[in-house]
Amino acid sequence: MLPLISTNMTAAAACASSCLAQIMPAGQAQIQVALTISALLFTCGLVGFMSRRNMIVMFLCTELMFQGAALAFIAFGRQHMDTSGQVFVIFILTVAAAEAALALGLVVLLYRRRATLSAEAWGELGE
Amino acid sequence: MVPTDFYAACAVCALGFIMLMRASSGESIQARSRLKTAAVVVILGGVGWLFATCMRNDDLDASAILLAASGFVSVCGAAQVLSHPRPLFAALFFILIIVSGAAAYILLDASFMAFALVIVYAGAILITYMFVLMLAEHRTPGSEEAYDRFPREPIIAVLIGSALLAVLGSAIFGSAETSRDASVQSALASRDDWMSLNRMPRLLQAEVSLAAPGARLVAGETYAKSDASHLHVINGQPVVRVLLPGATQPSEVILPAGAMISNPRAVGLALVEDFPVSLELAGVILMMALFGAVLLARRQVEHAEDERREAARSGATVDAGNGSGGTI
């Protein structure tokens, strides 16, 4: 067994206390509030997607649902003290960016054809 | 165990949202704004009640209260997004949601994602939305399109939404696990954070050089036979085995607390080390979106092309080889 040379015992004690201070366990109230916000955002997005008629605002509401899901990922990552949740949010951002590029291109194309942003102008697609 | 007043708060929120959607189809501007103010007050009351049911525990701290404040801002923004008669303002209120969401991320110790969210969402995606909106809309205030003012089936939509919120609420309160001791979990997470420094030897060497000038890393073969890692967590303290200058035997240095890896470093390490295939797939998705956008924008579509095509088809001479058949 090699001799253990601790450079400074007081520094070690300070480290031990501040290590505990640095990573506080997430309070239950904090996680529940965060999850409630995420549920509210997701619900608002869903309600908006169902009730708005403007195609661009409908896509905006899907982005709102993305926000709710991302906040839930961050909150669960905080609860389990794991960075995987944040990595998933990076992928959510990627998918949201790709979706925005494609959806907005599509909306501009549709607007040029019917000169309106109303989703009901394309109601015959569902028949 | 779900508190029953969570469901009551859901019902209050639903009532507020129905009022809000009714408000945009009001007769005069004064009546609209009065109804809207009342609806926002009802929604905020319901949301406050929801948060109050969450905060009934004993472990209430300042960050939960700040999180609830950012939640109020988010929900106000969301209410505006789904009820504002002018889409441009809906997009601006979405930026408000993004900013308050970034505040929530910081409170949840995800500082890198907070800044990435503001840069990517508010800086890129929402600006694209606003460009498209300004391209398509030429409205003055008070002359909004009917399809922006009158929602489609607001009551059914809000009922479905409140049912979803109630189900999500039961999941939130049902999954609140208190089985694992929080301090044990914290110690484990702290240990994992320190051990991840082993995967970044150059950073570890830099931190060791700061703590003990001239020291070189050596692998700690004494703790486990096949363990070549430099850093070990012993009694909650990060111990690195180093060779000090001039010494023949390795000695041990305790790293200061500031050497623990920061959030952006931890996210980057997880992204590159744990999810390399997903990272490549994200690149492929972005590439595909780029191709798709180029393909969509390539074809020139005339204004009201379909109407003219209909008119041409109803006429006596139909040019079959016209080629204006739309392919999107």
In angstroms, rounded to a whole number, what is the distance separating the alpha carbons of residues B134 and A24?
46
Quote the pLDDT of residue B260: 79
Q: Which whole number is the average pLDDT over B87-106?
A: 94
Q: Which residues in chain A have their CB less than 8 angstroms from residue B148's CB?
A: 53-54, 57
Q: Which whole number is the average pLDDT over B85-96?
A: 91
Contact B124 A5 (CB under 8 A): no
Q: Which residues in chain A have their CB less than 8 angstroms from residue B306's CB?
A: 113-114
State the DSSP H helix or E strand holding residue B241, giving kind and residue range, or none if neither: strand B237-243
Contact A19 B236 (CB under 8 A): yes
Name the residue among B162, B172, B153 with its Cα closest to residue B13.
B162
More confident call, B197 vs B94: B94
Name the residue among B237, B156, B230, B244 with its Cα closest to residue B197.
B230
Contact A97 B158 (CB under 8 A): no
Q: Residue A58 is encoded by which pair of tokens?
A: 């409908």
Query: Structural domain boundaries of chain A?
Result: 26-126
Return residues 235-294 of B near A (CB < 8 Å). Answer: 235-238, 249-257, 260, 263, 266-267, 269-271, 274-275, 278, 282, 285-286, 288-290, 292-293
Query: Structural domain boundaries of chain B?
Result: 4-174, 183-261, 262-301
Contact B236 A6 (CB under 8 A): no
Contacts of A85 (CB under 8 A, 6+ apart): A73, A74, A75, A76, A77, A78, B110
Contact B61 A6 (CB under 8 A): no
- Model ipTM? 0.81
Task: Indicate the fold that domain A26-126 takes in CATH.
Answer: Helix Hairpins (1.10.287)
A53-57, B29-33, B56-60, B216-220 — which one is most confidently predicted on average? A53-57
Q: Residue B210 is encoded by which pair of tokens?
A: 């700061």
B98-132 pLDDT, tens digit per residue, is: 999 999 999 998 999 999 999 999 999 999 999 88
Quote the pLDDT of residue A22: 46
How far, in whole angstroms, is CA B134 from its chain's centroid?
Answer: 26
Q: Is the domain B4-174 a CATH 3.65.10.10 member?
A: no
Q: Which whole number is the average pLDDT over B178-203?
A: 71
B201-228 pLDDT, tens digit per residue, is: 788 888 888 888 877 777 655 555 455 6
Interface residue of B76, B112, B147 to substitute, partner A, most A CBs within 10 Å: B147
Backbone conformation region of residue A81, classed left if phi is above 0, alpha if psi is from -120 to 50, else beta:
left
Contact B190 A22 (CB under 8 A): yes
Cross-chain CB nearest to A102 (options B164, B251, B289): B289
Return residues 293-312 of B near A (CB < 8 Å). Answer: 293, 296-297, 301-306
Residue ranges of chain A whose pLDDT lies below 50:
1-22
CA–CA min distance A126, chain B (Å) = 16
Cross-chain CB nearest to A51 (options B98, B104, B153): B153
Q: Which of A117-121, B66-70, B260-264, B320-324 has the lowest mean pLDDT?
A: B320-324
Contact B107, A77 (CB under 8 A): no
Contact A97 B90 (CB under 8 A): no
Return residues 53-72 of B near A (CB < 8 Å). Answer: 54-57, 59-61, 63-64, 67-68, 70-71
Residue type, B21: M
Quote the pLDDT of residue B276: 92
